[in-house]
Amino acid sequence: MSATETGTAAHGGAARGLAVASAVGRFVLVAVTTYLGLLAVTFFIGRVIPIDPVLAVLGDRANADVIARTRREMGLDLPLIEQFYVYVKSALSGDFGTSVLTTNPVMADIKRVFPATIELATVGTLIGTLAGVPLGVLAAVKRGSLIDQVVRVIGLIGYSVPIFWLGLLGLVLFYAKLQWVAYPGRLDVVYQYTFTPVTGFYLLDSAWQGQWDVFADAFRHIILPAALLGYFSLAYISRMTRSFMLNEMAQEYIVAARAKGLSETRVIWAHALRNAAVPLITVIALSYAGLLEGSVLTETVFAWPGIGLYITDSLQNADMNAVLGGTIVIGSVFIAINLLSDLLYRLLDPRTKTA
């Protein structure tokens, strides 16, 4: 290799390294800025709502001296900017205070309830993806046909009908009438004293421990709320899949593949869907994040002991430490999934590497 070629290679390597460092720097900057924005929003929400955190702890009958001392201990007598600094410092260390409702540290409560929400959202996303992607592909292939119209109507219903109404209707039909599913909750009472979860994911823990009766019972409890969340996710995923597939099927490489004599099945599933899968990964990731943060009504209807129900109960009892702590955790997870899906998209799509 000549000196010129060596210099060119070194220059190219340095340029690539600089580009990677710049991309990582932008990623970190966006993550930090977004998270600080989330903390700022939750902090000021906690200060403008008409609920005194001191009275929420002490009650309305506490005397003035106790109220003043507690206010100093909680740092509420400090200037607002200092309060925000303390708030950010505590949040970064995972300290969201103590829950008035449970008297436990908020983070301990969140660690206890969040696995239930993750499990519910994960099963719901799997259902939505496994059903939504084929339906979206079918609608794109049969564009303008009756099948396309039916798929679009199914998605429209999933967007339009309130999920709590579908939940109540599902309980009446599948639990009260047909008895195909279990009653609201996460596990029958008989198993709550014989089953010891390890990770907090009941399906995973029961299967790992070989307790298949517990697994079957947990599945009967989760399938209906997960199916409703999956239907909501299906509506979004099928619509976006249809859009991506229509765009790919109009490309020249599809015409070339058909001209080579490839079967229509191979053209659609091995070529068009393969290229549509790159942006579709981002759609599925965002759908998953949306189920994590948007399952409050579902958890309330089905008495699912997740973070959504925890925040709802805390809000009804003016437990703002728990409300804000839960909001920060859900927002942090949403930010992380959003940023990671964007990073994954950039890694998988070669067209973004030149940007």
Question: Is 9's pLDDT higher than 60?
Answer: no
Burial category of 193 from C-beta neighbours within 10 Å (exposed 0-12, middle 13-18, buried 19 and up): exposed
* Class of 106-354 in CATH: mainly alpha
First CA to last CA distance, the chain? 30
Question: What tens digit of pLDDT does each residue of 114-152 get?
Answer: 999 999 999 999 999 999 999 999 999 888 889 889 998
Q: Which DSSP string corresponds to 279-328?
A: HHHHHHHHHHHHHHHH-HHHHHHTT--SHHHHHHHHHHTT-HHHHHHHHH
Nearest CA-CA partner of 135 in 230, 234, 228: 234
Output the pLDDT for position 136.
Answer: 92
Number of helical H runs and strand E runs in the chain: 16, 0
pLDDT by residue (tens digit) across 197-248? Answer: 889 999 999 999 999 999 999 999 999 999 999 998 998 999 999 999 998 8
Which pLDDT tens digit goes with each residue over 272-327? 888 888 888 888 988 898 888 767 788 888 989 999 889 888 887 777 788 888 88
Spatial distance between the Cα atoms of 208 and 202, rounded to a whole number of angstroms: 10
Residue-wise pLDDT for 27-68, tens only, equals 778 778 888 888 888 888 777 776 667 766 666 677 777 777
Is residue 260 predicted with pLDDT exceeding 90? no
Here the tokens at position 236 are 């979004």
In the chain, domain spans: 3-92, 106-354
Q: How many CA atoms lie within 13 A of 118 on its CB side?
A: 17
d(CA 227, CA 220): 11
pLDDT at residue 117, as a whole number? 92
**For residues 244 and 237, what is the distance between their CA atoms, to the nearest angstrom?**
10
pTM of the model: 0.82
Please report which residue ranges of 63-145 form alpha helices under DSSP H: 64-73, 80-92, 106-141
Contacts of residue 331, defined as CB under 8 A and 6 or more positions apart, other chains included, come to 38, 42, 293
Residues ≥6 apart with Cβ < 8 Å to 337: 285, 286, 288, 289, 292
